[in-house]
Amino acid sequence: MVEFVNAVDAFIDDYFNVKLPDVNITDIIEIVIISYFMYHLLVWIKNSRVWMLIRGVIFILIFFVFAAIFEMNTILWLGEKLVSVAVTVLIVVFQPELRRALEQIGRRKIKSIFTWNLLKTGAKKFDDTTIVSMVTACYEMGAVKTGALIVVENDMQLTEFERTGISIDALVTRQLLINIFEKNTPLHDGAVIVRGDRVVSATCYLPLSDNMGLSKDLGTRHRAAVGISEVSDSLTIVVSEETGTVSYAREGRIVRDVKEDELIAELKRIQNPDEEENVIEPEKREG
């Protein structure tokens, strides 16, 4: 094996005038360790709100690049002063996520540290059958005033909220959703998270919105729907237990009492994000 490596090294040196660096067993172990931790770091970023922060940081960096190009010295001076406290601010803001990550490392068994698990990505978009099942279930529940809260995951994974509920991992069907939210059943309280074509978790706890501009007649379900839409790119469907109306929340706003075709169109925006959106003006429909 050593002779083969030496022969390859000599061939590349003779014909391409490139000298390969000496690689020993320690270098290989270092590469494996670094790759392992980088992999899990990227998984953690993808499964938490850190990715949204990184996008914001990239935007700010681009802004400062333009400031440097056009010699905006005051802005550059402010940016230099902010960098010194940025690390502390990030630790404070993302303290829950950092603590959860360290707890997961502490709970991990030695055997699992050396096991590479393929990440279940949320990239798969649901099919038309899933849309029909969700919409049909929502309006059937609305007809009998059964409250429901369904979070449809988009690009950002909702793993941290999924863990607060009970794992389901079942294909989305009209009957399943209706049974979950049936009154006085063990799973009816809380939210359901849908990833792709599957219900991954039920009875999940969602953050409540503290937006003072929301209508005072909105209940906990509606505020939770707006809350999750403020911290993720998901679409949340709400069925009111009091009125039976169907609403949805996305990007920090709620659109109330929507018709079936409007809800289907909104779901298709997530299913086919490249298609042109027909935006429903929030000032006309928002509570």
End-to-end CA distance of the chain: 71
Q: How do residues 238-274 score in pLDDT, each as one tens digit?
A: 999 999 999 999 988 899 999 999 999 999 988 876 5
Q: What digits encode the pLDDT tens for the residues 143-153?
A: 999 999 999 99
Instruction: Pick the closest to residue 157 from 233, 211, 99, 102 (CA basis).
Output: 233
Looking at the structure, tell me whether residues 189 and 141 fall in a common domain. Answer: yes
Are 178 and 141 spatial neighbours (Cβ–Cβ below 8 Å)?
Answer: yes
Q: Is residue 284 part of a domain?
A: no
Query: Do 189 and 58 share a structural domain?
Result: no
pLDDT at 154: 87
| Higher-scoring residue by pLDDT: 63, 171 | 171
Instruction: Identify the CA nearest to 48 among candidates 211, 144, 158, 182.
Output: 158
- Looking at the structure, tell me whether residues 207 and 72 fall in a common domain: no
Do 245 and 271 belong to one domain?
Answer: yes
Q: What percentage of the chain has pLDDT greater than the value 90?
A: 34
Domain contains 200: yes
Task: Kindly report the pTM of this predicted structure.
Answer: 0.61
Q: What is the pLDDT of residues 77-93, one digit of tens each?
A: 888 777 777 777 767 76
Amino acid at 25: I
Tokens 């935007």 correspond to 59
49 located within any domain: yes
Are 133 and 245 part of one and the same domain? Answer: yes
List, in order, residues 6 or more apart from 43 with CB less than 8 Å away. 119
Query: Which pLDDT belongs to residue 105?
Result: 60
196 domain residue, yes or no: yes
Domain that holds residue 198: 128-275
Residue 142 shares a structural domain with residue 165: yes
Based on the domain organization, do 261 and 140 belong to the same domain?
Answer: yes
Domain boundary (80, 113, 146) is at: 113
What's the chain's average pLDDT? 80
**The total number of structural domains that make up the chain:** 2
For residue 67, tell me if it sits in a domain.
yes
230 lies in some domain: yes
Q: What is the mean pLDDT of residues 51-59?
A: 74
**pLDDT, tens digit (0-9, with 9 covering 90-100), for 214-224:** 888 888 999 99
CA distance 68 to 27: 39
Residue-wise pLDDT for 79-133, tens only, equals 877 777 777 776 776 666 666 566 556 545 444 444 444 444 444 478 899 999 9
Are 90 and 132 in a shared domain?
A: no
Burial class of residue 265, CB neighbours in 10 A (0-12, 13-18, 19+): middle
Whether 172 and 256 share a structural domain = yes
Among 62, 81, 113, identify where a domain stops.
113
Residues 65 and 201 in one domain: no
- CATH value at residue 203: 3.40.1700.10
Tell me, what DSSP letter sits at residue 249?
Answer: E
Determine, yes or no, domain membership for 238: yes
Looking at the fold, whether 6 and 49 belong to one and the same domain comes out as: yes
Identify whether residues 132 and 243 lie together within a single domain.
Answer: yes
Q: Pick 124 or 282 by higher pLDDT.
A: 124
Q: According to the model, what pLDDT value does residue 175 have?
A: 96
Q: State which of 62, 82, 113 marks the end of a domain.
A: 113
Residue 237: which pLDDT band, with cuts at 50, 70 and 90? very high
d(CA 89, CA 56): 14
Would 122 be classed as within a structural domain?
Answer: no
Q: What distance in Å separates the CA atoms of residue 64 and residue 251, rounded to the nearest whole number?
A: 27
Backbone angles phi, psi at 265, to 5 degrees: -60, -40
